[in-house]
Amino acid sequence: MKKLVNNPDVVVDEMIDGYLKAFPKLVAKVEGSGRALVAKQSLHGNGKVGIVIGGGSGHEPAFMGYIGRGMADGVAIGNIFASPPPQPIVEATEAVNQGNGVVYIYGNYAGDIMNFGMASDLADMEHDIKVESIIVRDDVASAPKREKEKRRGIAGEFFVTKVAGAASARGDDLSEVVRLTNKANESVRSMGVGLTPCALPQTGKPSFVLGKNEMEIGLGHHGEPGVEKGPLQQADDVCDRLIDDILNDGGLKAGDDVAVLVNGLGSTTQMELFIMFRRVEQRLSEKQINIHRSYVGNYSTSMEMGGCSVTLMKVDEELKALIDAPAECPLYAQYE
């Protein structure tokens, strides 16, 4: 696959370099660190609870694009599709700590759990920083409901981060930020479909193989195989499958309000994403589920993978207020 890169071994560092130079007023590298970034506004001493996110590269704008006002304060950046090691996580933690605790938000993957877990121990033992961790598990395709703790985190992490960032920005204390973030995490469900693979810059080879007219339902956002492969169907049918599986997982009924995210995996056009959203709206409206706020676009990608995911988060009054709060990050912003 063709890519605009120089040396495949340094793609992540060159990406970070370009990102910092593009948004010098908004983001900065933690001094002395290679892979820990902070939002410049977080360096102001307003005593807020710190929010640190992170994960592998290749999901841009996640995760580095989501540090800024009303979102996360710091981010630790790993190699492509690989958790960052503890060191940059601890560096980001120290940089955003204002004495009132730090919350980690990351996806449910073995590597992230070990590295963020070690970082949380180090932050506590060596820097006396109280850290709470929220592990995102929104992908309903990745494990059945009875094994919910095994589910991986995908695009729903955007909503979880939004809620945490808004709660901490308005001055909620650590236990309140944790309570609300957990509530968001419990209320969010996603499912994806893959049409075409992505390739790691170092190998140039596709991460999985699909036939010309095949799709994979439930595909993971690192190309992990999903629940089934089948012939490519029309957008409405694909959308129905995703929505049905999400709704069958429970938690939503007529009269409920939801935030919706139709997320592109990298090479899917806005045209396709809006065609998908159109059907999501039809289906929810049939079920008398009210869409409170919508997001359509590339929020968590898998490099140039083709396909999309649909995320629904049930919102009550307190989650609505947090989802509607303004946010300003280099790669995402919303206003009143």
Partner 1 sequence: MIQATDLKKALYSMRDKMAEERDYLCELDRHLGDGDHGVTMDIGWKAVAQALDDLDAETDISVICKQVAMAFLNAVGSSVGPLYATGFLQAGKPFKGKTALTSEDVATFWIAFAEGIEARGGAKIGDKTMVDTLAPMAAYLREREGGFDSEGALAAAKKGMESTKTLQANVGRSSRLGERSIGTIDPGAASAFLLFKAFCDSVQPREKV
Give the residue, chosen from 50, 68, 70, 86, that forms a contact with partner 1 under the rule CB under 8 A: 86
- Is the Cβ of residue 111 or residue 297 nearer to partner 1 in the bound state? 111
Dihedrals phi, psi of 273, to nearest 5 degrees = -65, -40
**87 binding partner 1? (CB under 8 A):** yes
113 DSSP 8-state letter: H
Work out which of 85, 232, 278, 334 binds partner 1, going by CB under 8 A: 85
1 counts as binding partner 1 under rule CB under 8 A: no
111 forms part of the interface with partner 1 (CB under 8 A) = yes
Q: Which is nearer to partner 1, 33 or 181 (CB)?
A: 33
Report, in Å, the least distance between residue 87 CB and partner 1: 5
Q: Which is nearer to partner 1, 165 or 201 (CB)?
A: 201
CA gap 164, 311 in Å, rounded: 17
Asked whether the beta carbons of 179 and 163 are under 8 A apart, the reply is: no
How many residues form the binding site for partner 1 (CB under 8 A)?
33
| Residue 177 CB, nearest approach to partner 1 (Å) | 25
User: How far, CA to CA in Å, does 157 sit from each of 127, 161, 186, 311?
Assistant: 27, 6, 11, 10
As annotated, the active-site residues are 59, 222
User: Distance between CA atoms of 299 and 266, rounded to whole angstroms?
Assistant: 9
Binding mask 17-56 for partner 1 (x = CB under 8 A): ---------------------------------------x
Q: Does 84 bind partner 1 (CB under 8 A)?
A: yes
- Region 130-159 residues binding partner 1, contact defined as CB under 8 A: 142-143, 150, 152
| Phi, psi of 81, rounded to the nearest 5 degrees | 55, 25
Residue 194: which H helix or E strand, with range?
strand 188-196
Give whichever of 12 and 72 is closer to partner 1, judged by the CB atom. 12
Give the neighbor-by-neighbor strand order of the sheet with 27-29. Answer: 27-29, 36-39, 74-80, 50-57, 102-107, 131-136
By CB under 8 A, tell whether 9 contacts partner 1.
Answer: yes
Give the x-and-dash track for 188-227 against partner 1 (CB under 8 A). Answer: ------------x-xx-x-xx-----------x-xxxx--
Radius of gyration of the chain (CA): 19
Q: Which of 15, 28, 118, 321 touches partner 1 (CB under 8 A)?
A: 118
In the complex, minimum distance from the CB of residue 195 to partner 1, in angstroms, rounded to a whole number: 17
Q: Which stretch binds partner 1 (CB under 8 A): 104-112, 163-171, 239-247, 324-332?
A: 104-112
Compute the least distance from the CB of residue 117 to partner 1, in Å.
8
Tell me which long-range contacts 41-45 makes (C-beta under 8 A, separation of at least 24): 41/68, 41/69, 42/67, 42/73, 42/74, 42/95, 42/96, 43/95, 45/98
Six-digit token string for 269 = 């056009």
Residue type, 197: P
A 10 A CB-CB count for 235 gives 16
Q: In terms of CB distance, is 114 or 333 closer to partner 1?
A: 114
In whole angstroms, how close is the CB of 113 to partner 1 at the nearest point?
8
∠307-313-315 over CA atoms, to 5°?
155
Q: Taking the CA of residue 122 as centre, how many other CA atoms within 13 Å lie in the half-sphere pointing to its CB?
A: 16
Q: Which position among 1, 15, 20, 82 is part of the footprint of partner 1 (CB under 8 A)? A: 82
By three-state DSSP, how is residue 25 classified? coil
Residue 33 CB, nearest approach to partner 1 (Å) = 11
State the CB neighbour count (10 A cutoff) for residue 262. Answer: 27
Which positions lie near partner 1, rule CB under 8 A? 9, 56, 78-87, 109-111, 114-115, 118, 142-143, 150, 152, 200, 202-203, 205, 207-208, 220, 222-225
